Amino acid sequence: MKKLCAALLCLALCLGALPAQAAAGPEVNARAALLMEKSTGQVLYQANAHQALEPASVTKVMTLLLIMEALEEGTITKDTMVPVSATAAGMGGSQVYLEEGEEFSVHDLLKAIAVASGNDACVAMAEYLAGSEGAFVERMNQRAQQLGMEDTVFCNCTGLPAEGHVSSAYDIALMSRELILRHPEVREYTTIWMDTLRDGEFQLANTNKLLRSYQGATGLKTGSTDTALYCLSATAEKEGMELIAVVLGAPTSKDRFGAATALLNYGFAAYALVTAAPSEPLNPVPVTLGTAESVQPVLARESQLLLDKGAAGKVTTTLDLAGEVAAPVAEGQQLGHLTVLVDGQAVEEIPLVARQAVAKRTLWQVYGDLLAALFCGAWP
């Protein structure tokens, strides 16, 4: 008996010494779901991620993306006034009750789309940017192809039910990432809880309840129809890491927000975003026969690693930098590299490049230096 107890005790101690297992995946009550980290695009969790499903008003993420790109290109400004056509005014579903002949600024229409999911506001913007909703939808599908959204076909800019209008959790994450990564200023609209149109006469209330219930929520878009059920692309940021949680086909609105909360909690609890950098400042590299004595090396690009939280403190770097370099030196010329290691294993190599160009000294400049050294050195 004593030997048996001793054996059991030894077994218990050995089991206790084993490393902790990764946290179990989140519980999601929906047809499909996916969790993605913004900076790296890495997928942290997925379920039926490529199943083609109705996205409902989450479609408007692409509509918002094209509007933000038009703003960036200068095609429009936030003060541009957009007329409302009879077609736009007659849109059903969620709307802000625009009237034919009215004009609204792009700023106000962005609020109407991002906050109240206004179908009429979407169509007004689509017609202004492309001439018709149909032409705008062509742009939506072209942009989807550029982003690698292979499961998606858009038939309108609103997400209203239409035969063949489908997307997937993965594709929605792709376009959501593009929107918040390239156009973070969209938060000006996606984080609004309540606002107004028509100088305070019309109230707007955000359909994304996570803005009030989830700390760090930054957006993004809800959607629901009788056939699509309840859908959501939710974004949130904590400790410098922004996550995208996509939920499609949840049976209730409560399930939709509960699933997104579970996805986000899982991501923030299990992962960390680490920026790799040299452990000490980079010293200038001497330049021979150059118009400057040295050139400053810099990282060619930023490196961000998405790691299990247990590995986040195990990131180290090693440096391989040239002792000197001969002129001429071109801006961006490689001078060495930084190796990034996680727990002693190399995972990435980042080039170290010249921050500025250094020209080669001419023969006359070299001759002048020699003369100056000769006369200055001989002067009493």
Distance CA(29)–CA(5), nearest Å, equals 44
Taking alpha carbons only, the member of 190, 359, 249, 275 closest to residue 29 is 249
CA distance 10 to 15: 9
Separation of alpha carbons 165 and 179, rounded Å = 21
Dihedral through CA 370, CA 373, CA 374, CA 377, nearest 10?
-170
Residue 229 backbone class (left: φ over 0; alpha: ψ -120 to 50; beta: rest): left
Rounded distance, CA 43 to CA 94, Å? 31
Measuring CA to CA, which residue among 107, 87, 212 is closest to residue 158? 87
- Among candidate residues 266, 215, 210, the one with its CA nearest the CA of residue 233: 210
- Is residue 136 within 8 A of residue 126, CB to CB? The reply is yes
Q: Name the residues annotated as catalytic.
A: 57, 60, 117
